[in-house]
Structure 1
């Protein structure tokens, strides 16, 4: 492999390529774009990160709380003006699992076109301390912000690249659904494939349509995935894109994982990691459902009882779902069954704080992850070689769960998507935990997850080829 040369930090003043990052205002999207910002900044390029004041603050706060990530020094944050939006609490008893309470913040993002356009023009014509003018402005935007960055087309020295935070498998399933083409994956019955209308709420379709109108302005596509996990679907989608494209020149790069795959000596300690230190290898199941999931009191009780009855060690992150503005009000303290924490003391731990998920999944005591199957959580779990107990809630999560259980075979189901409207009982939860943590099936699943984790880490050790290939192309 040829050596790729990037600018040194000591010569940043001479650098004539500038990067502008434009994330979508949801936690996993903010986080992934910020992680990518770090990787680009570490190669010596100036990096600007533009979001509303609320979401810049959120991204920085939670990034600093992650014990395995770098701080945000060196990245220039731009707090864009956004009209006020409603920030209602989550609805645990809603019949729809999609986080409808976040919709006002998502819709408000459409108002960022004008300030982003002004920033584009400013950065594209800026002059640094050595009087070097920006030769190229590289705009990396969430694919759900294509409308917002559309003015990049009017900036002569700018190029935009869309960044997709979801799985290629999900995208391929939905592509087959829309096109009416057969689904060529023998491991999954086509009848089991979730559909757009039962994963999202109707208003989302119009939002997607708005973004798709400007998708053609992107000079290339970045995907938060890697070939060891989704190689076949990257190839299938590339074939579809090439067949449908007018000029057949769309560039695509799979650049994950974007987080450190090995621990750093400077990593901070955290109470959850200190608790894990007291337990045997691969003996603890980590339970967390991300930043957009909220459960009813009845479901929390069933989950608590299932964990207790399984007799397995567990670490449970029990938090309410994010609001659109996480600083607007204190999160609700979700109640547990009376006496639960006392009964499981020493065997189980419940934390209500923001937890360092990467550090937890990397810890040798963790042997399983009960997850909503958000794509970021799937990537982190697989990279660390940790198998999953899948419990999808909405959006791309049902597709991701199928990929984990039916295709990669690195997980077991807590529930199938067809059972999404039912209360998941303590007995079903107990059974899934025992399958993953204390059965021959679980051992086989764990072995496959560990093998896949080694392949993912090797892809990073080999030089992050696709990320470097993208940077070489974008800065040509």
Structure 2
């Protein structure tokens, strides 16, 4: 036994294995976190399919190209996502629940990563003193074999806001363990009805059955944003040994001159605009607007009189690289030519972090996915909140009612209704050209400064990351 301990002590101290859910908002978070961890000199292994590893790398912004070389990508095969080796069902912009249900076959296929991930963990366990597995909470079944590896421990990434997570946890407790203050929960909390389809709810519930083995939770949030809700989650925890690490924002907050790629055309256009004069419009990687809604949005933006960068694209499919006929969203005829001096319609992936960080960007019309929320907050940009599905309706309440750095485009209770051009026009004007909007902008800037200060040397987030690294390398 003494000889074995001696050999163990001669091994490198630790390696980290990332296991993401293969959807953009989840891939993105763990790849950002990988960059932060490798900056401490710790090797990181990123486990997924070749398609989704490539997707994550292609779309990552804000880091220099060299930083990616420090991450070891493991490309594992996935089974076919649907019968007859087709890729996956296409996005359905007319569905009553706009959640991208076409991702369901992909999520099911991703559970088959259990065996190759287990083999990777066993292989690495003989090469390092300790293996640290960081996995998305919605893919927990893939890492269940951690319990069979004596020198491995796992940590669960909570990919949503602490506010939304706390609300969901609190609602599921029959006998409340403590009382909440009147300021803890806003009066108008949207219901979860219509947020996700039943097959996704069932998938998530099945993944949660494998929880309980983890040594801690990791939050992609910041204490200046929602420290109160992290405290409430810690108070709710029934496991006294569970550690809670608030390590966000994972995305870089100072991204000037960090990208080695040629600058995107929309950034060149933003260079020519006045400070704070442009609203950025984007609904993320999992939303497809109907043709009718696109028309109303186009008219509303035009009538608002404000400058804009509008990312107009369909939801991702299960394989973004697969060839095939894809729906191409269209604006009204002549629209882009008519507004060429006032706006840009971008139909491909856009460098969101760089756009939000640009001095010309003064607002963000967003679906309120958590990546978009925390990126916007960390750059000090106020939000016109237009939630589409999942955790987004409650994230929108965090933005508008708790933090008061945004305004609602549409109340969740009216989600089935078309958002008219008049509503869009008025919302954009409110955010960009009113006293109320200026106050939101001021609060957003102050919060952005606090978040950026937290990740600077000596800041709370930097110290918490130092503590996390010290813990896993103990």
Normalising by structure 1, we get a TM-score of: 0.92
Aligned residue number for residue 253 of structure 1? 245
Structure 1 residue corresponding to 2:397, chosen from 397, 402, 406: 402
Cα offset for 1:59?
1.1
RMSD of the alignment, in Å?
1.6
Partners of 2:169 and 2:38 in 1: CA distance: 34
Structure 2 residue corresponding to 1:140, chosen from 134, 151, 161: 134
Answer whether contact 2:22 2:52 (CA < 8 A) is retained: yes
Q: Helix, strand or coil for the counterpart of 1:215?
A: coil
Alignment of 1:46-445 (within 5 A): 46-63=43-60, 66=61, 68=63, 70=65, 71-86=67-82, 87-126=88-127, 134-180=128-174, 181=176, 184-186=181-183, 189-190=186-187, 192-241=188-237, 244-245=238-239, 248-267=240-259, 268=261, 269-329=263-323, 331-445=326-440
Cα offset for 1:265?
2.8
Aligned residue number for residue 5 of structure 1? none
Report the number of matched residues.
450
Q: Helix, strand or coil for the counterpart of 1:367?
A: strand
Structure 2 residue corresponding to 1:473, chosen from 453, 460, 471: 471
Answer whether contact 2:186 2:401 (CA < 8 A) is retained: no
Distance 1:235 1:69, change over 3 A: farther
Q: Helix, strand or coil for the counterpart of 1:106?
A: helix
Partners of 1:294 and 1:427 in 2: CA distance: 21
Answer whether contact 1:176 1:183 (CA < 8 A) is retained: no
Answer whether contact 2:14 2:473 (CA < 8 A) is retained: yes
Aligned residue number for residue 85 of structure 2? none
Cα offset for 1:195?
3.0
Partners of 1:184 and 1:213 in 2: CA distance: 31
Cα offset for 1:183?
6.5
Partners of 1:415 and 1:200 in 2: CA distance: 18
Q: Helix, strand or coil for the counterpart of 2:331?
A: coil
Distance 1:384 1:176, change over 3 A: same
Q: Deviations over 1:449-475 (max 9, x none)?
A: 000000000001135111111111111
Q: Deviations over 1:214-253 (max 9, x none)?
A: 2110011101101000111000110001xx23xx110001
Answer whether contact 1:306 1:427 (CA < 8 A) is retained: yes
Partners of 1:424 and 1:329 in 2: CA distance: 32
Aligned residue number for residue 16 of structure 1? 13
Partners of 1:98 and 1:207 in 2: CA distance: 14
Q: Deviations over 1:170-195 (max 9, x none)?
A: 111111221144765547554x3233
Normalising by structure 2, we get a TM-score of: 0.92
Q: Helix, strand or coil for the counterpart of 2:134?
A: strand
Aligned residue number for residue 5 of structure 2? none
Partners of 2:420 and 2:64 in 1: CA distance: 37
Q: Helix, strand or coil for the counterpart of 2:212?
A: helix
Q: Helix, strand or coil for the counterpart of 1:148?
A: helix
| Displacement over 3 Å in runs of 4+ | 67-71, 180-190
Partners of 2:136 and 2:317 in 1: CA distance: 20
Cα offset for 1:205?
2.4
Distance 1:155 1:187, change over 3 A: closer
Q: Deviations over 1:423-464 (max 9, x none)?
A: 000000000000000000000000000000000000011351
Partners of 1:363 and 1:474 in 2: CA distance: 36
Gapped runs of 5+ residues in structure 2?
A: 1-9, 83-87
Answer whether contact 2:356 2:376 (CA < 8 A) is retained: yes
Partners of 1:69 and 1:98 in 2: CA distance: 33
Q: Helix, strand or coil for the counterpart of 1:216?
A: coil
Q: Helix, strand or coil for the counterpart of 1:321?
A: coil
Distance 1:68 1:276, change over 3 A: farther
